[in-house]
Amino acid sequence: MVATDGLPIIKLGVEDAIGGFALSTEARWNQTEEDWRVFLHEGVVFGIRDGARLVATAALLPYSGNNAWISMVLVSATHRRRGLATRLVDACLETARKNGLTSWLDATPDGAAVYGPLGFTSTLQLQRLKLVRPARAEAPPSSSATIDALRARDRRGTGFDRTALLSAIAQRSGSRIVSANGAIALVRDGRTARHIGPLFSDHAAAALALVDTIARSETGPLLIDAIVSQAAFLEGLTVSGWTIERPFQRMRFGPATAMAEEMPFAVAGPEFG
């Protein structure tokens, strides 16, 4: 076994997007190379190399109001169970501490078992659901939704100003913002499936109707990360053919600094919150 305890933690640059993408692909995550460029351009990404190969990463993406999102905590299968992820998360937390930031993340059950002892406390529970569509679709719905409308609703639903993030994603080829009857959502490409979220709505019926409209205009698989406390929405998704893939636990390290005015129905993804 090769000793890796002494491998240094380094800060990664935009040229490391391909290496990061290789790690998330190995883990069968849905991120694209463009997602990695957001983290590398807007945040701080720590990494560990073994020789020339990038074998572990963790990212800290700053948001407004002294908040930051920790994600992309990845270790190659060849280097797991050697403490690399803990070292990288510690680097993120130390950076957040020095800058007075409260840290957030969405953890898998295994991850939650690691982050709890580090001092993270649980907040929201999420469920990732998947829908596989036939290879035919209706015409995409017409919508006059704007990035400003999505940004405003996102701030009400999260307590964060994520203008830079939402604008970067919405401007990508294949992304669209869809709204109807008081509901609004962002739809974007992923590596293996299109992703719906964040999604905000005045009530569950409108949220479900918007998801159905989006789904009927898509030809490939779809993912959505729904908030468990939106029980009617979650039940409506499963009744309409969505299957639950895995849970996520939202966790916070530090004082609560963001006051949301409403509860979203689905989030932007565990990598973005």
Full residue range of the structural domain in which residue 32 is found: 9-100
pLDDT at 134: 59
Distance CA 183, CA 181 (A): 6
Residue 199 located in a structural domain: yes
Residue 48 located in a structural domain: yes
3-state secondary structure 44-101: EEEEEEECCEEEEEEEEEEECCCEEEEEEEEECHHHCCCCHHHHHHHHHHHHHHHCCC
CA torsion sign for 151, 155, 161, 165 is negative
3-state helix, strand, coil split of the chain in percent (to 5) is: 35, 30, 35
How many other C-beta atoms can be found within 10 angstroms of the C-beta atom of residue 206?
A: 19
14/88 same-domain check: yes
Residue 205 located in a structural domain: yes
Alpha-helical runs (H) found in 163-203: 163-170
Nearest Cα neighbor of 154 from 166, 143, 164 is 166
pLDDT at 3: 43
Compute CA distances 260 → 69, 86, 104, 159, 164, whole Å: 16, 30, 14, 4, 19
Distance CA 164, CA 162 (A): 6
Q: Can you say how many angstroms the Cα of residue 264 is from the centroid of all Cα atoms in its chain? A: 14
Digit-coded pLDDT (tens) for 152-176: 999 999 999 999 999 999 999 999 9
Helix (H, G, I), strand (E, B) or coil at 161: coil
Kindly state the greatest CA–CA separation across the chain: 58
Distance CA 207, CA 201 (A): 6
136/224 same-domain check: yes
Q: Can you say how many angstroms the Cα of residue 200 is from the centroid of all Cα atoms in its chain? A: 16
222/170 same-domain check: yes
Nearest Cα neighbor of 82 from 4, 2, 27, 1 is 4
| CATH number, domain containing residue 50 | 3.40.630.30
pLDDT at 107: 94
pLDDT at 5: 62
DSSP lists the bridge partners of residue 225 as 128
Q: How many distinct structural domains can be found in the chain?
A: 2
140/176 same-domain check: yes
State which of 100, 115, 144 marks the end of a domain. Answer: 100
226/136 same-domain check: yes
pTM of full prediction above 0.75: yes
Residue 176 located in a structural domain: yes
Distance CA 12, CA 24 (A): 15
135/59 same-domain check: no
Distance CA 191, CA 180 (A): 27
Helix (H, G, I), strand (E, B) or coil at 108: coil
| CATH number, domain containing residue 183 | 3.40.630.90
pLDDT at 221: 95
Digit-coded pLDDT (tens) for 27-44: 999 999 999 999 999 999
pLDDT at 1: 31
Residue 265 located in a structural domain: no
pLDDT at 2: 41
Tens-of-pLDDT digits for all 273 residues of the chain? 344 468 999 999 999 999 999 999 999 999 999 999 999 999 999 999 999 999 999 999 999 999 999 999 999 999 988 989 999 999 999 999 999 999 999 999 988 888 998 899 999 999 999 999 755 666 666 667 899 999 999 999 999 999 999 999 999 999 999 999 999 999 999 999 999 999 999 999 999 999 999 999 998 999 999 999 999 999 999 999 999 999 999 999 999 887 788 999 999 999 999
